[in-house]
Structure 1
Amino acid sequence: MTNKSTALVISAHAADFVWRAGGAIALHQQKGYEVTIACLSYGERGESAKLWKQGGYTLEQVKAERRKEAEAAAQALDAHDIQFFDLGDYPLEMDRDAKFRLADLIRKVQPKFMMSHSLYDPYNTDHSYATKMAMECRMIAQAWGHNPGEKVLGAPQLYLFEPHQTEQMGWKPDVFLDITDVWDKKRAAIECMQGQEHLWHYYTNQAENRANHFRRNSGGQAGGRNAKYAEGFQSIYPRTVDEL
C-alpha cells in the first residue's frame, strides 16, 4: 500500500481502459495519483478480429499481441501499474479464487476511486459482468472477515465509464472530466491499439462531444473553461459532502 492517492481501473478486456478511461488515468497520474489497471482478459477471442482475419495466429499469440498493446498504452498514459488476470473472454468468467484475487488487489491498492464498465451492455456482456464483479469484489474487500488482520477497504466511489453505443446501455453520466491537458497521451495510447484501429476515430470524436457537454455544464464550477476533450462517468454510490 502507498501513502499516495490511488485509483483502480477494472477493464474487462485489454483495450477497454484506453478508449474509456485513458484520459482519467493520465490526468490523475499527472496529479500525483498512482493508478493501477486490472485487465481481466486480453480480449483475445472476441475483440481481436483484425489479428484473426490475418490468419496464422494461435490463441496464445493473440494474447501476446494484445498484452504488448496494452502495456504500451499503459506506458503512454504513465500508469503506475497494469496487471493481467488472463481469465478469458467471450465469455468472461470469475470463480471464487479469481474474485478473491481481485478483492486482494483492491485492498492492496486502497483506491480513492474505482472505475469499470456500464451496468448494462446487451452487445457485450463481458463488460457488464466486469462491473458486477468489481462491485462484488469491492464488497469482499470491505469485509472484516476476509483475510482478518489486513486493512479493510473503505468506500471508494465506483465510476462507470462510457460504453460503446451509449444510448443502448442505460448509462447516464453525472461527471464530466476535462482531459484536454493529457489528450496527447490518450491519443498515443489509442494508437497503441493496432488490433482495433477502427475505433480510433470513434473515441476521438466521443472525447470532443463530451468536451462540449463539459463546457455547457462548467460555467459555475469550472469557470467555463474551454475544454477540447473530456470523458464522462456515472457514479454508483452516494457522494458524502459537507456543502454543495
Structure 2
Amino acid sequence: MSDKKTALVISAHSADFVWRCGGAIALHQKKGYDVTIACLSYGERGESAKLWKQGPDMTLEKVKAARRKEAEAAAQALNAHDIQFFDFGDYPLEVDTDGKYKIVDLIRKVQPNFMFSHSKYDPYNTDHMYATQLAIECRMIAQAWGHNPGEKVLGAPQLYLFEPHQTEQMEWKPNVFLDISEVWENKWAAIQAMQGQEHLWHFYENVGENRGNHFRRNSGGQAGGKNCQYAEGFQAVYPRTVEELD
C-alpha cells in the first residue's frame, strides 16, 4: 500500500453512495485521495422498482446487471476508479463471518484515512443500519493484531455517517458539513446515472442546497461566513484528536 491518502465508502446498496456522499467522493478524488466504494448489494429487490415494472421478462440477474452498470457510471462521473460489488443480497442484507472477513480484508488493503457508511438507525430500511453495524464491527476486527497476524493492522479512521432519507426519523444529527460546490456537477451527473431511482434526483439536489445553507450559517453566515452553494452533512462516530481548537 502506498503513502497516498485513501477513503472507503461502505454502501448497503449500489446507489446509496451517490445520493449521500457523492460530493465527498468527487471532492477527495480531486484532492488526490484514492476513494474505494464497496457496494454490499445491488439493491436488486428493494430499491429497483422502476426496473421491475418494465415487465414480466425482468429477472433478478437482469436487475443486478442494470444496477451495476448504473453504479459504475456514477463512480466514473465522480472520478472514483475503485468500485467493488460484494453481492450479499438485499431485503434483507445478511453477511456471514466469511463475508465479514472479506470486508475486513478490503479495509486492511485500503487502510483508509476515513470511512463512510449509513446512519446507525433506520426503521424504513434495516439494510442501511445493518451496513453501518458491519462497518463498525469490521473496523474493529481490522484493528485486531490477532486477526491474520503479520498483516498491517488498521489504525483508527473516523467513520462518518452520511445523511439518511428522513433525518428526523433516523436519530441522525450532523456535526460536519462539507462544501461540495466545486464538484456539484460531478455529483449531479452521478445522480442522473441512477436511472432506476429517478424519483430521488431532485430530492437530493434539494438536500445539497439545504446543506449549503447550513454550511453558510455555521461558517459565519452574513458576518463573514464562507459562501457555499452545495454541501453534504455527516455525523462523526468517534472523537477527533486535535492539537488545538478553532
Normalising by structure 2, what TM-score?
Answer: 0.97
| Identity score, percent | 81
Alpha-carbon distance, 1:2 to partner: 2.5
Could you say which residue in structure 2 is the equivalent of 1:8? Answer: 8
1:29 alignment partner in structure 2 = 29
Shifted more, 48-57 versus 201-210: the winner is 48-57
Partner of residue 232, structure 1: 233
What does residue range 72-221 of structure 1 map to in structure 2 within 5 Å? 72-219=73-220
Q: Give the corresponding residue for 1:43.
A: 43
Instruction: Give CA deviations for 1:134-186 in whole Å, capped at 9, x if unaligned.
Output: 00000010000111101000000000000001110000000000000000000
* Runs of 5+ consecutive residues of structure 2 not aligned to the other structure: none
> How many pairs were matched up?
242
On the 8 A contact 1:23/1:231 being kept in 2, the answer is yes
CA offsets 1:98-134 (integer angstroms, 9 cap, x no match): 0000001000000000000000000000000000000
Q: Partners in 1 of 2:186 and 2:128 — Cα distance? A: 24
Distance 1:219 1:164 in 2: 27
Distance in 2 (alpha carbons) for counterparts of 1:124 and 1:42: 14
Is the 8 Å Cα contact of residues 100 and 137 (structure 1) preserved in structure 2? Answer: yes
What is the SS of the residue equivalent to 2:92?
Answer: coil
Q: How far apart, CA to CA, are the structure 2 residues paired with 1:165 and 1:175?
A: 18
Q: Alignment partner of 2:53: what SS?
A: helix
- The answer as to whether partners of 1:23 and 1:182 remain within 8 angstroms in 2 is yes
SS at match of 2:154: coil
Q: What RMSD over aligned residues (CA atoms) do the two structures have, in Å?
A: 0.9
TM-score if structure 1 supplies the norm length?
A: 0.98
> Runs of 4 or more off by more than 4 Å in structure 1?
none
Contact 1:29 1:80 in 2 (8 A): no
1: CA distance, partners of 2:86 / 2:92: 14
Q: What is the CA–CA distance in structure 2 between the aligned matches of 1:219 and 1:36, rounded to whole Å?
A: 33
Q: Deviations over 1:176-235 (max 9, x none)?
A: 000000000000000000000000000000000000000000129xx6221000000000
Amino acid at match of 2:235: Q
Residue 201 of structure 1 aligns to a residue whose secondary structure is helix
Alpha-carbon distance in 1 for matches of 2:51, 2:116: 28
Distance in 1 between residues matched to 2:206 and 2:232, nearest whole Å: 11
